[in-house]
Amino acid sequence: MLTGFGVPSLYVGINEPVDPRNLSDLEKLHIPVIDAPQRVNKNEYFDVNVEVGSMGGHPSEYGHFILSIDLYAGEAFLARANFTPVKTAAKVVFTVKLQNPAIELLAYCMCNLHGCWVGHREIAVDE
């Protein structure tokens, strides 16, 4: 998306990497990284770790920090964690369960300066 000045706006829409194999420094700071099993059992709880800045160390200071991380399974909202500057790091463990046979986990984070970013992770759900 472009602003009226022809400059990309990070605050319009959801930001994703241009080339996932060659991330920019800004992308490394902001893309939520999802760590979860490749396969889980249907209706059994498991842990999903999400961290923003694991590839580049996102700041947690008054002028620049992650406000929240949301976790979705496809379009289904699962959980949210909110953060404060200085006192918290944008890292969380969600304990969830799934019912669909194959799904994509999506983590959305909101940076107070650079908008919304998304990370993806495929997961299989066994009967």
Q: What pLDDT is attached to residue 18?
A: 86
- Domain extents for the chain? 14-126
SS3 for 27? helix
Q: How many CA atoms lie within 13 A of 117 on its CB side?
A: 28
Segment 32-59 mean pLDDT: 94
Q: What is the three-class DSSP state of 28?
A: helix
Q: DSSP letter at 37? A: -
| Least confident span in 32-36, 105-109, 113-117 | 113-117
Tell me the average pLDDT across 59-68. 95
Burial class (CB in 10 A: 0-12, 13-18, 19+), 39: exposed
Give dist(CA 75, CA 113) in Å, integer.
Answer: 26
- Give the pLDDT mean for 87-92: 95
Indicate if the pLDDT at residue 127 is higher than 90. no
- pLDDT for res 102: 75
Do the Cβ atoms of 26 and 77 come closer than 8 Å? no
- The pLDDT value recorded for residue 110 is 96
Superfamily of domain 14-126: SOR catalytic domain (2.60.40.730)
